[in-house]
Chain A
């Protein structure tokens, strides 16, 4: 049984503490270092013709995937500290909100990455065989870069928070990234059978040399996949909010009736956005007729 006595000052201090812990976490710093090195090498090195349009895997992995582990560990530390304190100054919901505040750290890093990527995209435009082409415009490309690079940097830590809250046992924090990578790589858009419904998963490619099976020939045509990336961005944002609400719902002392209503509301919004993702935008995959290099 914990006693809860909170003031706005307590909330701010708790949030500041979690933000500082996240920003100084060794795994986050390793990821940030890797992201900086790869982004600089990519920006200053020789361009392969795709400019910065295919670099989203770097922040998704080094901020998002690493963020899952960082946030799961931080959540467990927060719970241990609260249990040790006994009469905790903040209940689970308040601590969950403070942990969510720490997401500003990977978000800020991802936004800097995105800004650099846009500069590279403008200063060294992609080749004609890449994107944008035909009906898939520059705006679509930028939305995809934002969704796969920035939103995944926020979504990863939120997923780590969910795992730590709902799955007891530290081993889940280690196994979860493996499962996430496995499903992501299967649904990243390489298999034609998944092209129409792959958008259910929160990380998938929208364009690229998706005839990668021809990698031996070193030549392939870039493809833009069906759906609306703009509505997909709405879907991803709704998923992030949903993740936060479900994490808050874990607290038995929270206002669960209100949270349940919000979960249903945001869940429905996510479903509508998903349906619109599938039915708006390109209705079929479009192939760039100019042959380009594969990766």
Chain B
């Protein structure tokens, strides 16, 4: 598993994204009032990088191999764990300027990562090779736009701003629900892959292989 993880995980991207996460949240220490959108941008970057880690560019070969999706997803979790650790370290580093909401910010990142894992694994089980890349190219600009423009900030506080306690509470609940539902979906997708003789992705990959 270690050899597969070492070769399959995009470590360069993990290192770049981990560093950028630290830089984005460290920048908040300069002036959180004016630089706050960087927090939302960082959540989007974390989600995008996690998705990228779970991709299988060699799906045509790997999906037909005896090792199932659970095994391969578990092997790839090393990169995801590093990203989550970077996020936790970045939040800890910037905790004094997070308006007393370091816990809520931490939850945002972890919930976004859980949502990404669920969606990308579901698409992988359906036979898509690199759903994480597509996910990253949508979620990064969308979260940046949401953080910068802040639409519906009272009704839908995705990335709450400053010291308005009520929006933080709503946001914390929203992200917690996202995390719980995502983990449930992830478990379901992986359990289905274990119990079915072969997932759709595996069936498709095997059908593509030449007959002996």
Tell me the A residues contacting B by CB distance below 8 Å: 27, 30-31, 34, 37-38, 57-58, 61-62, 65-66, 68-69, 73, 170-171, 173-175, 177-179, 181-182, 185-186, 188, 190-191, 212-213, 215-216
Residues of chain B from 12 to 26 with CB closer than 8 A to chain A in the complex: 13, 16-17, 20, 23-24
CB distance from A126 to the nearest CB of B (A): 20
Name the CB-closest residue of B to A214. B33
Number of residues from B at the complex interface, CB < 8 A: 33
CB-based contact B33/A178 at 8 Å:
no
CB-based contact A73/B137 at 8 Å:
yes
CB-based contact B148/A170 at 8 Å:
no
CB-based contact A213/B10 at 8 Å:
no
- CA gap between A95 and B2 in the complex, in Å: 43
Q: A181 with B144: in contact, given A27-B138, A58-B149 (CB under 8 Å)?
A: yes
- CA gap between A208 and B142 in the complex, in Å: 25
CB-based contact B27/A215 at 8 Å:
no
CB-based contact A212/B137 at 8 Å:
no
Name the CB-closest residue of B to A171. B13
Other than the known A27-B138, A178-B45, A186-B35, what 4 A-B pairs have Cβ atoms closer than 8 Å?
A30-B142, A58-B149, A182-B20, A182-B38
CB-based contact A213/B33 at 8 Å:
yes
Choose from A177, A191, A212 the contact partner of B141 (Cβ within 8 Å).
A177
Choose from B16, B20, B141, B148 the contact partner of A27 (Cβ within 8 Å).
B141
Q: A212 with B34: in contact, given A174-B48, A174-B52 (CB under 8 Å)?
A: yes
CB-based contact B137/A69 at 8 Å:
yes
CB-based contact A57/B148 at 8 Å:
yes
